[in-house]
Amino acid sequence: MPDLVIGQQGMLRSTPKLTRINGDDYLPLVYRNMGNNHAYPFIWAESRTMDTGTWTVLSGVSFHGMPAAEYCMVTVGGTENVAPYFTKDTVNNVISVTTAASGTVDVMIMVGYPMPDIASIACRGNTGAAQSLP
């Protein structure tokens, strides 16, 4: 195979791609470092003390052409009696949180949809052994 360069000699097969995952020192954010000064956020969180009403968390945000309201998973929590819940307006690409009472609301957003099946990610070769999850 004279047309193969040194790096291509041997078995030609797919190899896992390495990704550098970083956390920010000042922002509640985990991002994928794509190199060349490009970062791709995939988990971030925010807390806000709010009165009864609605808070627009994201509006018009897209990742590589995918609207956040369609492709992001949202987790909302809050202090006692706040009872926050989120809505996704996929037509206008808006994610908002509404509360029933005053208090602190915590929001965590993860890029990616649908929720992955964790059991199918890890494998132990082709032996058929399954992961022992709690």
The string of pLDDT tens digits covering residues 61-101 is 988 788 999 988 899 998 888 889 999 999 999 999 999 88
Positions of E strands within 4-111:
20-23, 29-35, 38-50, 53-59, 62-63, 66-67, 72-78, 85-89, 94-99, 103-111
How many Å apart are CA 31 and CA 133, to the nearest integer?
Answer: 26
Q: pTM surpassing 0.85?
A: no
> Over the chain, what is the mean pLDDT?
77
